[in-house]
């Protein structure tokens, strides 16, 4: 609720449903997810999020405001998660099929890659649809998915000390990894901490497209997309791409918005105890 650029954004309306509800309803369509849980803070400002979840039958856990890694870890621990999928609540166009792809890459079982893996094992320690430079984003901003086994998240929680690692949850896991093509769909490498990292690639470079919500212009873009699809949650990210090709003016709504990076840390969090 305390977003610096658009306060209260996660409960703002998108065609009759709060943005948070849009994220949850689309994430729940992913076949690889057993449960979708909202992890918010214990700050009083986030009480409306907790109330929204109670009213909407959405499991909700609460934890540290600025140490989001601690919040994620304790939520995953409480839910007894084997695999943890991180999705942010300002991405109402998150795609369930892409979530499934990321989980399957982690497991080494994505059918299109013909990679075999024994049940219960993972080929990678972390998989994502994007990483910061020198990796190249190929999916639109707002389709961000990060996946890791609980044991990997637990190690990051135990070892990470830098404020950015605590606020942005998973950078400790993939820091220092150099990209190397694995095939047309996946780049892979090993991070400074020894984690095996995989990044999903799309066949075209769409990394300049902005589908997340940080500003009023971003929110208007999302509203226009859902309006086009009649408020339904069942359209795919490829449907949105086709919409932009047929109506290129839509992308201009938020084309001038600057995207935050991992270097952007909430100044209120600088005193956070990373222990």
pLDDT cut 90: percent of the chain above it = 80
| pLDDT at res. 208 | 93
Is 81 part of a structural domain of the chain?
Answer: yes
| pLDDT at res. 117 | 35
CA distance 95 to 243: 15
- Average pLDDT (126-139) is 92
Domain count, the chain: 1
CA distance 132 to 68: 19
Asked whether 259 and 90 are in contact (CB, 8 A), the reply is: no
Name 160's Cβ contacts closer than 8 Å, sequence gap at least 6: 69, 166, 172, 274
| pLDDT at res. 242 | 98
Segment 243-255, tens digit of pLDDT: 999 999 999 999 8
- Average pLDDT (128-153) is 94
Segment 46-105, tens digit of pLDDT: 999 999 999 999 999 999 999 999 999 999 999 999 999 999 999 999 999 999 999 999
Segment 168-206, tens digit of pLDDT: 999 999 999 987 877 778 999 999 999 999 999 999 999
CA distance 50 to 40: 8
Is 1 part of a structural domain of the chain?
Answer: no
Is 269 part of a structural domain of the chain?
Answer: no
| pLDDT at res. 259 | 67
Residue 157 backbone dihedrals phi, psi, to 5 degrees: -60, -40
pLDDT of residue 118 exceeding 50, the answer is: no
- Measured on CA atoms in the order 19, 101, 261, 265, is the torsion positive or negative? positive
Segment 235-244, tens digit of pLDDT: 999 999 999 9
Segment 31-55, tens digit of pLDDT: 999 999 999 999 999 999 999 999 9
* Residue with tokens 């969090």, as numbered in its chain: 269
Is 262 part of a structural domain of the chain?
Answer: no
pLDDT band at 261 (very low <50, low <70, confident <90, very high): low
Name 219's Cβ contacts closer than 8 Å, sequence gap at least 6: 6, 9, 12, 14, 19, 213
Q: What is the pTM of this model?
A: 0.89
pLDDT of residue 265 exceeding 80, the answer is: no
Is 271 part of a structural domain of the chain?
Answer: no
CA distance 144 to 130: 6
Asked whether 148 and 171 are in contact (CB, 8 A), the reply is: no
CB atoms within 10 A of CB 254: 21
pLDDT of residue 275 exceeding 50, the answer is: no
Range in 185-199, 227-241, 258-272 the model is least confident about: 258-272
CA distance 81 to 77: 6
70 lies in which domain range?
9-256
Is 270 part of a structural domain of the chain?
Answer: no
CA distance 101 to 112: 10
Is 83 part of a structural domain of the chain?
Answer: yes
Asked whether 89 and 37 are in contact (CB, 8 A), the reply is: no
Strands of the sheet containing 196-200, edge to edge, are 83-86, 146-149, 126-128, 196-200, 186-190, 180-181
CA distance 231 to 18: 12
CATH number at 104 reads 3.90.550.10
Is 4 part of a structural domain of the chain?
Answer: no
* Residue with tokens 């095939």, as numbered in its chain: 183
Long-range (24+ apart) CB contacts under 8 A made by 34-39 are 35/59, 35/79, 37/61, 37/75, 37/79, 38/89, 39/63, 39/71, 39/72, 39/75
| pLDDT at res. 267 | 55
CB atoms within 10 A of CB 25: 18
- Alpha carbon 74 to its chain centroid, in Å, reads 18
């Amino acid at each position: 609720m305390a977003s610096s650029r658009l306060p209260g954004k996660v409960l703002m309306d998108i065609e009759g449903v709060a943005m948070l509800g849009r994220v949850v309803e689309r994430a729940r369509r992913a076949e690889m997810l057993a449960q979708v849980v909202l992890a918010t803070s214990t700050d009083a400002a986030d009480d409306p999020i907790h109330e929204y979840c109670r009213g909407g039958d959405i499991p909700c856990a609460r934890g540290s405001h600025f140490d989001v890694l601690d919040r994620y870890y304790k939520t995953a621990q409480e839910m007894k998660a084997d695999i943890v999928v991180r999705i942010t609540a300002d991405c109402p166009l998150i795609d369930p099929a892409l979530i499934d792809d990321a989980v399957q890459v982690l497991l080494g079982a994505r059918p299109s890659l013909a990679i075999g893996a024994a049940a219960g094992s993972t080929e990678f320690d972390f998989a994502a649809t994007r990483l910061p430079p020198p990796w190249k984003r190929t999916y639109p901003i707002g389709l961000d998915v990060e996946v890791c086994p609980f044991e990997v998240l637990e190690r990051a929680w135990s070892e990470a000390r830098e404020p950015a690692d605590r606020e942005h949850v998973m950078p400790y896991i993939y820091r220092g990894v150099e990209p190397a093509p694995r095939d047309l769909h996946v780049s892979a490498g090993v991070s400074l901490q020894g984690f095996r990292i995989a990044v999903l690639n799309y066949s075209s470079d769409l990394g300049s497209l902005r589908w997340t919500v940080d500003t009023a212009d971003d929110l208007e873009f999302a509203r226009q997309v859902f309006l086009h699809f009649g408020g339904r949650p069942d359209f795919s990210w490829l449907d949105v791409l086709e919409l932009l090709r047929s109506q290129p003016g839509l992308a201009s709504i938020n084309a001038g918005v600057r995207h935050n990076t991992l270097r952007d840390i909430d100044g209120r969090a600088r005193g956070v105890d990373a222990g």
